[in-house]
Amino acid sequence: MESIIQIKGEVNFQITLDPTVWIFDDRKIDLDQYFTEKHVEIDADEEYIEKAGKFWSREIMEGATFPPTLKTERKFDRQKMMSGTFGIKIEPFIQNAEPKTGATSIIFGTQSGEQHSFPIEEAKTFIFQFSQEGKMLSQDGPVYLLFNDGSNLENPIKGITSLEVK
C-alpha cells in the first residue's frame, strides 16, 4: 500500500500529500473529541492577532523570555499521539492546489477503484482521518474520508488515494 495521496485534474498545482507526517502537524484534529464536543470555526487572522496581543502583553508585564525556557512551554502529549484518533481538514490542501475557475467538483478515488464525487465547496468541509487509536490506517488507508457533521463516522469512505478536480 502506498501512503500518498495525489491532488490532480483542473488545478494550477498538482500536489502529493503524505499522511504519515500529519501526526506532527499543528492543524491535526483529535477526532475522539471533535464530533462529541461543540466546535467553533476560528478566523485565522483573528487568532493570530489574539496570540500576538497576548505575547506583547506578556513581554511588557514579565519582560523578554529567552530560550531554553520557551522550549519547555510547548510539550507534545506523546501518550495522546500514541493512542489517539486523528484527522486533518482537507480545505488547506485544496486551496494550495488552486482549482481552476471552471472546476466544480472533486472526485475522491479509492484503492478499490471506486469514485465518490462532491461539489468543491462541500468537499472543502471534509476531514481526512489518518490514524486510529495511535496507529496508521495501513489496512484500508492511507486515509478515511469523513463528513464534517460526523454522519459517516461509523462508515467512512476508506482507502482514499487521489483527489481529482473536475
pLDDT tens digits along 31-62: 988 888 765 566 677 878 888 888 777 777 77
Q: What is the mean pLDDT of the chain?
A: 85
Cα(129)–Cα(77) distance, integer angstroms: 19
| pLDDT of 63 over the 80 cut | no
40 or 125, higher pLDDT: 125
| pLDDT of 111 over the 70 cut | yes
112 or 55, higher pLDDT: 112
- DSSP, res 43: -
Cα(98)–Cα(89) distance, integer angstroms: 16
Cα(163)–Cα(157) distance, integer angstroms: 13
| pLDDT of 76 over the 70 cut | no
> What pLDDT is stored for residue 73 in this prediction?
47
- b/e map 68-104, b = 16+ CB within 10 Å: eeeeeeeeeeeeeeeebbbbbbbbebbeebebeeebe
